[in-house]
A and B are shown apart, each in its own frame.
Chain A
Amino acid sequence: MAVLDHVDHTLDCQGLLCPIPVVKTNKKVKEMTVGQTLLMLATDPGSMPDMTAWSKQTHQELIGAEQEGKLFKFYIRKTR
C-alpha cells in the first residue's frame, strides 16, 4: 500500500545519479505551494539516506519512503 493514495505532483528521477535527484526535488518543491505533496521516484542507490538528509536540512517533510527492488518512492510535503 502506498504511503499516500493521492499526491499533487510526481517527479521521475529514475536513472539519474547523485546529486541530480536532490537538485530536481528541491527545485520542484520550490515551485509547489505550501501543503502540496510530491511523489519522487529514484533509482540512485544512495537516495534513501540522501533524501532523509535533504528533508532534515530543508525542513521539508518526508512523509514516508518505500523501496521496491531498485526503485525508491519518496512522499514529500512542502511545509514552508
Chain B
Amino acid sequence: MATTLETGQQLDSSVERQIQQAVERYVDLRLEEEEDKRRQRPKKVAIIATKGTLDWAYPPLILASTAASIGMEVGIFFTFYGLNIINKKKNGSLAVAPLGNPAAPMPVPNLIGAIPGMTALGSKVMRSMFKKHGVASIADLLEICVESGVKMWPCGMTMDVFGYKPEDFMEGVQPVCGATHFLDYASDADISLFI
C-alpha cells in the first residue's frame, strides 16, 4: 500500500519498506549502543545511613568501602542519627546500649543494662572485641571511604534540627544537601540500601 506524502505525492511501497527497514536498523543499533554504555559504566551504589550507634555505624561503612574496592561508584546520605558517624565531635565515641538488646553476643539482663555506665561499658567491650578480632575501627573505615572517593552527604534538614554545623563534619564529606539531591544521585543506582 502506498502512502500519500504531505506534498500530495505517492510514496512507492518498496521505497517505504526500505525506509522502514533502515529506520529499524538504526534504532536497534542505537539501543544496543545505549545498552553497551550502561553495561560499561561502573555499578552505582546508593546508601542511606540513619543510625548512629556503634553497631549500626559499621554496615554502611563496610558496604561502601567494599563497593568502592570493587570499582563501584558509592554515595552515602547520612541522615538523622546517622549524622553522628561523620560528626567529628561524635564519631570517636559512638556507643551501643546493652539495654533491650537480647541479640548481644553476651546478653545483659535489662535491669542491669539500665544501670548508669552500662552503655559505656558495653561499648568498650564491643570496641575491644572488634579490635581483638581484627575488625577495622570506624575511623579506619571512614578514612578508606574518603580515600576511595565515596561521596558522603550530610542531610541538611537533620543537621539543622540536631543543632550541628557544617564545620562539625569530618574533612572529605560533600557539601550539606537535601533528599532531592540524594534521590537525583540514586535515581539510576544499581544498588540502593536503607540502613
- Beyond the given A17-B135, A20-B134, A57-B71, please list 15 additional residue pairs across the A-B interface where CB-CB is below 8 A: A15-B134, A16-B134, A17-B134, A17-B136, A19-B66, A20-B140, A22-B69, A23-B69, A23-B144, A23-B148, A25-B69, A26-B69, A26-B70, A44-B134, A54-B69
Q: Which residue, of A23, A25, A27, A44, has the highest number of chain B Cβ atoms within 10 A?
A: A23
**Chain A interface helix/strand/loop/mixed:** helix
Give the interface of A toward B (CB within 8 A). 15-20, 22-23, 25-27, 44, 53-54, 57-58
A/B interface sample: 24 pairs, CB < 8 A: A16-B134, A17-B133, A17-B134, A17-B136, A18-B62, A18-B66, A19-B62, A19-B65, A19-B66, A19-B69, A19-B136, A22-B66, A23-B65, A23-B66, A23-B69, A23-B148, A25-B69, A26-B70, A53-B70, A54-B69, A54-B70, A57-B43, A57-B70, A58-B71
Contacts of A44 in B (CB 8 A): 134
Shortest beta-carbon contacts, A-B, top 5: A57-B70, A19-B66, A26-B69, A15-B134, A16-B134
Contacts of A53 in B (CB 8 A): 70
User: Which of chain B's residues 55-91 have a Cβ closer than 8 Å to chain A?
Assistant: 62, 65-66, 69-72
Contacts of A23 in B (CB 8 A): 65-66, 69, 144, 148
Give the A-B pair count, Cβ closer than 8 A: 39
Contacts of B72 in A (CB 8 A): 57
Cα distance A19–B135 when bound, in Å? 8
Q: How far is the CB of A41 from chain B (nearest CB, A)?
A: 13
Cα distance A27–B147 when bound, in Å? 10
Contacts of B70 in A (CB 8 A): 22, 26, 53-54, 57-58
Q: How far is the CB of B72 from chain A (nearest CB, A)?
A: 8
Contacts of B71 in A (CB 8 A): 57-58
Q: How far is the CB of A9 from chain B (nearest CB, A)?
A: 17
The residue of chain B having its C-beta at the shortest distance from the C-beta of A20 within the complex is B136
Q: How far is the CB of B10 from chain A (nearest CB, A)?
A: 56
